[in-house]
Amino acid sequence: MNRSKFYIDGAWVDPVAPSALGITNPATEEIFAEVSLGSPPDVDRAAKAARRAFAVYSATSVEQRLGWLHAIIDGFRARLPELARMMTLEMGAPITFATERQATVALFHFEEAARVLASYRFEERMGSGIVRREPIGVCGLITPWNWPLNQVASKVAPALATGFTIVLKPSEVAPLSAMLFAEIVDDAGLPAGVFNLVNGDGPIVGEAIAAHPEIDMVSFTGSTAAGIRVAKLAADTVKRVAQELGGKSANIILDDADLKTAVTQGVHACYTNAGQNCQSPTRMLIPRGQREAAFAAAREAVAAIRPGDPLDPATTMGPLVSQAQFEKVQRLIRSGIDDGATLVAGGIGRPAELNRGYFVRPTVFGDVNPQMKIAREEIFCPVLSIIGYDTEDEAIEIANDTPFGLAGFVQSGDVGRARAVANRIRAGRVYFNGAPFDRSLPFGGYKQSGNGREFGVFGFEEYLEVKALVGYGD
């Protein structure tokens, strides 16, 4: 497969200065495709195309935009198996997970955007005038590799619904599913220049997007360090910046919870997507007196995990995305051992039955001190830290003792008690008792986990300016 072109101004075009990049299958460590990295002139061409298209597209009717959204939805459904398989190849998501979660939840964002758009009030009476909501302009979207289509869709869908035009940079690690998505957008018949895609890395293409004077807003998902850089570059042109950054979510299991159920759910939630999930509950807080029972439940849950060939429908955990990520995780697991945490399950190296690919052993550490590196850094892999506490107040203090605030988890037999604890957790989302991920509710972080919100009507409004028409009359 060779995907050397970019999608700009309604056509697939050659890069200004081609620079080949091989895409590695993380399960085999072999290059299976090639793309070209872009450069600032490619971003400039895309941004100017988006600027030209904005005047026309921002004036389209709700009915027209609904028509395009539904055409994308139809195209997405038709190609869902192909999209899922591509994500399996480019970032290692097991094919069953890639189909049922990675691709399906990406589709949901377009369905949700269409639902919100159909009834959204862009104008309303207020005081002596009218409050009107209008698209900000051209948006630069910079997305990560861990949920490659979900993160694209969660940004593109509300941007298209609200009348934005777009310059998208998918992750250079996993760009191919986004390129298939660009084909779906092309088939949907959007006006030329409304959607543009330029491949490239963060330091060159990402920074060019953040700094470009024709781009009015940047929506970024990625590391906190990269998010800080994006915000600084965007400041010179006073762009709106929306960011979903790192996380180190705590899972507080209260003493009235069903411990085995709570621990089992917590392990599997931590290991979702091979732990490459920004809101993963990687810190499990348990009553100190339930230590042995929690360790036993965690070992049993880990034993049910099935690492292996991600193209096998029975596989439940694929590889990490890259050699760099694999090596980082090995260092962090070693640090947990060296710092004196109890190795409950897993450890250094690959699972015994696998001799290639960036697979890691699903790992659980117990007796973790909240100040250990494994309890403070976002590891982004299937490594769980179990931390003991004596009182509810101590558990909440430990949960909040982090620079991040993306998500929290509370397990309890008493809904009122769980809510009281959740209200004290400094995070943008809190899940109760294994609740599923609801994409109609707002998603975003406190503190260094970012700013702004995605999903549903809250994500919709992230892309809108507010205009007051004062004394407009009747």
Report the C-alpha gap between 53 and 210 in whole angstroms.
19
User: What element of type H or E holds 396?
Assistant: helix 392-400
Instruction: Give 411's strand partners.
Output: 253
Strand-pair category, 446-447 with 404-405: antiparallel
129 burial level (CB within 10 Å; 0-12, 13-18, 19+)? middle
Taking CA atoms, 158 is separated from 57, 80, 244, 258, in Å, by 14, 20, 16, 39
Instruction: Say if residues 320 and 274 touch (Cβ distance below 8 Å).
Output: yes
Strand-pair category, 6-8 with 11-13: antiparallel
Q: How many CB atoms lie within 10 A of CB 363?
A: 26
Strand, coil or helix: 160: helix
223 burial level (CB within 10 Å; 0-12, 13-18, 19+)? middle
Give the residue from 434, 439, 385 showing the smallest Cα distance to 413.
434
Query: Catalytic positions, please?
Result: 244, 278
Instruction: Give 387's strand partners.
Output: 285
111 burial level (CB within 10 Å; 0-12, 13-18, 19+)? middle
Q: How many CA atoms lie within 13 A of 437 on its CB side?
A: 20
Token readout for 154 is 């969660």
Characterise 135 by phi-psi region: left (phi > 0), alpha (psi -120 to 50), beta (else): beta
Please identify which residue in the block is written with the tokens 């409950």: 344
For 129, phi then psi, to 5°, come to -150, -150
Q: Work out the end-to-end distance of the chain between its first and last CA atoms, rounded to an integer number of angstroms.
A: 60
Please identify which residue in the block is written with the tokens 């403070």: 376
Instruction: Give 121's strand partners.
Output: none
Give the residue from 77, 249, 248, 57 showing the smallest Cα distance to 136.
57
Instruction: Say if residues 347 and 333 touch (Cβ distance below 8 Å).
Output: yes
Instruction: Say if residues 283 and 250 touch (Cβ distance below 8 Å).
Output: yes
**Cα Rg for the chain, rounded, in angstroms?**
23
Token readout for 188 is 């949907």
